[in-house]
Amino acid sequence: METKVFSAFGYAIIRNDAKALEDILDDTLRHNEYTADDDFLTVWLQTSGKATHINASGEIQVRLAGDSTLSKALMPGKNRLTFDEATTTFCVSPSANPGRNPPVPPLEHFALASGASVLLSKGTRLFLADGTLRIGDNNITGPRQIAVTSGDKSVSAITPCLGLLFV
């Protein structure tokens, strides 16, 4: 797995590029196994690929581009993860943000279809993980942090956009 770290509003966000059927061993996954319980704070946003999560009870959850743990909760308990195809995820985890309080900030899922528009209010803090937004006369392509500081801004998606809102 290849990783790259991005900074957004004082937090580290890690982009993970996994190959199909790759076995991962890192701070969150132990040979593609993890346990989702009350202590599991990591937020994942999947921007490409297909991944299958299989719970110890046999329940299966497939995740595709656009899914996040905020929009589609992880199955509780012990899970095994398989990358069915090359997959990119963005991850905000306690291990990537030691000493931060909270270690994972309050976040919301952001998705905007190509051609759609939305009003971002003053004070909005968006980590645009993937896609291109048009703000005024400027195109902004992710990954990039966007802070709305001078009044509400209408934004339009040039391409499908995925991200995390810091709330």
Closest CA to 32 of 90, 83, 91, 86: 83
The pLDDT, as a whole number, for residue 21 is 94
The pLDDT, as a whole number, for residue 28 is 76
CA 8/CA 128 separation, integer angstroms:
10
Q: Are 47 and 16 in contact (CB under 8 A)?
A: no
- In CATH, the number for domain 107-166 is 2.60.120.10
The pLDDT, as a whole number, for residue 30 is 81
Mean pLDDT of 120-134: 97
Q: Where in the chain is the domain with CATH 2.60.120.10?
A: 2-96, 107-166
Mean pLDDT of 60-89: 96
Query: What's the CATH number of domain 2-96, 2.60.120.10, 3.90.1300.10, 2.40.50.140, 2.40.33.10?
Result: 2.60.120.10
Q: Which amino acid is at 55?
A: N
In this prediction, residue 38 has a pLDDT band, given cuts at 50, 70 and 90, of confident
Note the residue count of the chain. 167
The pLDDT, as a whole number, for residue 42 is 93
